[in-house]
Amino acid sequence: MRKAWIAAGVAAAAPFGLVALLAAAVAGMSGGPSSSGGSAAVSLAPGAVPAAYGPAIEHWGRLCPEISPALLAAQLYQESGFDPRAVSPVGAQGIAQFMPGTWPQWSTDGDGDGRRDPFDADDAIPSAARYDCALARSTGSVPGDRTDNMLAAYNAGAYRVIQHKGVPPYTETRNYVQNIRTLERSFGVVEAPLPPSALAVGAIEFAQSKLGTPYLWGGEGTAADRGRFDCSGLTQAAYEKVGVKLPRVANDQWNAGRHPQRSELLPGDLVFFANDLTDPRSIHHVGIYVGGGTMIHAPYTGEVIRFGTIDKPDYIGATRVTPEGAQALPLRVPSTVVAAGAGAPQNAFTDATPTPTPTPRPQSTTPKPPTPRPMITAAARPRN
């Protein structure tokens, strides 16, 4: 009943009374900052990964106790952004970013076509799970969290984990482990209700202050843009106002927190729209939910930032942003640079930039193994 009253009140509120109403609602419901805590995420949240990869991740993510479907999904996203054609600057290949020297030992013919191809997700996903579990066994006697040690071994090599008696002191490796453990919560389903966000009021207040501002494809609100935004530029700026750095592209903003169901939406949630409702990589538009089935968004060229309904055929879902969820997202840049406005659709919701491609992780100043995927010892090889 209380949620229904809040939703109805937000929908009916005059624009300049909206922030005060939201502040009261969020304060009354949250009682404090947002949290990504809760029960451990095991299965995948609905719609969290491209549907083509979901069954394999669900199946192979249970290969050993140290991994879960949500953790395997987070690892694949961190490695390649679910791009089966990805090739890193150091030569790592496919959705799981296997090095050519590591692939022959751990590869699996997952689809039974007689080939083991690192660029075939049906082969690479089970191979990644198999390699993870082998690394977990090889570092099983090392003190500390077994999953953390496994992930560190995937990044820096099992020898380094054994040598340092836990996660090595390399900035890259420690960030890799922390980010995947955080993203695991974003990709996983949880039984407990998601807590509301105390950041919502500030983000919505910023978005409300931009109502009536003309849309600019590629706009980020800078002086050069004359204060104009596109959809993901607006949401990025709104959350940056409250200290959260979101990715620039809408389909990466999707992974900045857990995903509430339509009936669980709260003010401040990001709401997304996609060309393919089975694949979040096809997300093309994002807005900020304000309650009552309504969002503030920057629609398209020729329009202004305004209120709009979220109940559209291309609505794919929502994200409750958390600072740690946003911080865990991998650094990405557009694969091509397109001038703002050049070739932008004129009458459809659209994101600012093309689908991003992975960039190399920043190098640690601490010495580390020469390759990011060193093979573990033959003694640790799993039995078939």
DSSP 311-324: -STTEEEEEEE-HH
| Secondary structure class of 182 (helix, strand, coil) | helix
Catalytic pick among 64, 133, 284, 285: 285
Catalytic pick among 64, 133, 259, 297: 297
Element (DSSP H or E) covering residue 289: strand 283-291
Is position 297 annotated as part of the catalytic site? Answer: yes
Is position 164 annotated as part of the catalytic site? Answer: no
Is position 259 annotated as part of the catalytic site? Answer: no
Q: How far is CA 379 from CA 134, 148, 320, in A?
A: 10, 21, 44
Q: How far is CA 220 from CA 215, 249, 319, in A?
A: 10, 11, 21
Query: Would you say 121 and 95 are in contact if contact means Cβ atoms under 8 Å apart?
Result: yes
DSSP, res 302:
T
Catalytic pick among 64, 231, 259, 284: 231
* Residue 262 CB neighbours (<10 A): 12
Query: Would you say 154 and 172 are in contact if contact means Cβ atoms under 8 Å apart?
Result: no
State the amino acid at position 377 in one-letter form.
Answer: T
User: Which residues form the catalytic set?
Assistant: 231, 285, 297
